[in-house]
Amino acid sequence: MALIRWDPFREFTNLQREMNRLFDEFTPFEDRGLKGTSFMPAAELQETAETLELKLEIPGIDSKDLDIQVTEQAVSISGERRSETSTEENGMTRSEFRYGNFQRVIPLPTRVQHDQVKADYNNGILSLSLPKAESEKQKVFKVNLN
């Protein structure tokens, strides 16, 4: 029986080869008939004494493709990221970008004055300033000790 010297780097090479094979076999959602699969934009909500400040990360979408609706208790944002890729006759395009429609409803921790919301969309960040309802600003909760 012949002894073979173990080479740990050979194991890494085999693992890399298998991972590359898996990624080569992967087909995007569009190729599997799931065109328009939605994505979820990241959100950040900060509460101050007077307002709720909501930011959403939505790069690559024109402001005209966004629909923002605000109630006293929630914010609904929907839109569409359109694909603008073109493939040459002999070329191939690979993309990890997500295209299609999205919708996100964010419940608010306090009631807001939904008719006085200020919005700004700059560099792919949607910023909403939601003034709290007057009744919410003046709330004081009594804490009972047991």
Give the CATH number for residue 118: 2.60.40.790
Whole-angstrom Cα distance, residue 50 to residue 31? 48
Is 113 within a domain?
yes
Tens-place pLDDT, residues 33-83: 444 445 778 999 999 989 999 999 988 888 888 999 999 889 999 988 776
Is 106 within a domain?
yes
If one counts the domains in the chain, the total is: 1
Amino acid 32: pLDDT: 43
The pairing of strands 125-131 and 118-122 is antiparallel
Is 94 within a domain?
no
Is 6 within a domain?
no
Is 50 within a domain?
yes
Q: Which domain holds residue 114?
A: 41-81+100-135
Model confidence at 84, in pLDDT bands (50, 70, 90)? low
| Single-letter amino acid, residue 112 | V
> Across 6-10, 54-58, 78-82, 135-139, which has the greatest mean pLDDT?
54-58
The pairing of strands 125-131 and 100-107 is unpaired
Is 53 within a domain?
yes
Is 45 within a domain?
yes
Q: Which residues pair with 129 in a beta bridge?
A: 53, 118
Terminal CA-CA length for the chain: 79
Q: pTM for this one?
A: 0.62
Token readout for 58 is 């939505």
Is 115 within a domain?
yes
Q: What is residue 78's three-state secondary structure?
A: strand
